[in-house]
Amino acid sequence: FFLDGSRESFQYTVFTILEYAKFSGLNMNFEKTKIIWFGSGDAPENIYMNDIKFDWNPRTFEILGIEFNWNLRNLTDTNIEKKIDPIKNIIKQWSYRDITPIGKITIIKSLLLSKLIHILSSLPNPSDLMIKRFKKLFFNFLWNNGPDKVSRNTLYQGKYQGGLQMVDITSFIKALKITWIRKIINSNGKWKGIVPKLQEAILTTKVVGSSFLDKTNEEIVLNTFWREVLNDYNEFYKIVHNIDLHPFGK
């Protein structure tokens, strides 16, 4: 529940849940219920309904596999940090085997990046420093902690261009963000109501082109995550509409 922070709102919500429990048999586990303040420089010390043992102002809490903190800062890097050791353990296990670069790239795509997809597609982009850490981690695994044997720009290319289709993490993150455009267009869910201007922007772009987003992106959404979605969609739109992807122009 997202409340306005007032005592009245909090009490009414709790009483409603308790009343619901009388008829449904679904009781609230107070000790596992976390109450946390958002949007202020310092978490207020206000505690309502002292007779009930809620978990007030925990440092962190987890919802749907994402760990949050009260100030909402560095959420992405904080959540990715928890995945680094498991990824290193997988790398260690596979490093004992004699695997070709193609085999290692397959491991990176299927076993390593899979641990990050939920975070990268649900939260704002990680910091540049975090992206560099993962690039170093993956390329050290690929070349046995030695220097690159093939330039990275070549390595990212497809096989017909002389590359090995190594994943470019930056492009990978952008691709995950762009999938939200498809979800917004195809979904009939009420969740889209939280981003009404985003829907309008997508439809307008399809009609007038990406120049619309160039001028209005920051005015459309203030939320960092959705602004990144629009930025990446804008970049993708320009690439698609400036390159003839089919030999017959279809």
Q: Coil, helix or strand for 249?
A: coil
What token pair was written down for 32? Answer: 């596992």
Q: Give 136's contacts (C-beta < 8 A, 6+ positions apart).
A: none
3-state secondary structure of 35: strand
Which one-letter DSSP state was computed for residue 248? T
Residues 6+ apart with CB under 8 A from 210: 234, 237, 238, 241
pLDDT single digits (tens) 136-145: 999 999 999 9
- Tallying the residues shown for the chain, one arrives at 250
Its pTM stands at: 0.78
Q: What is the pLDDT of residues 106-150, one digit of tens each?
A: 999 999 999 999 999 999 999 999 999 999 999 999 999 999 898
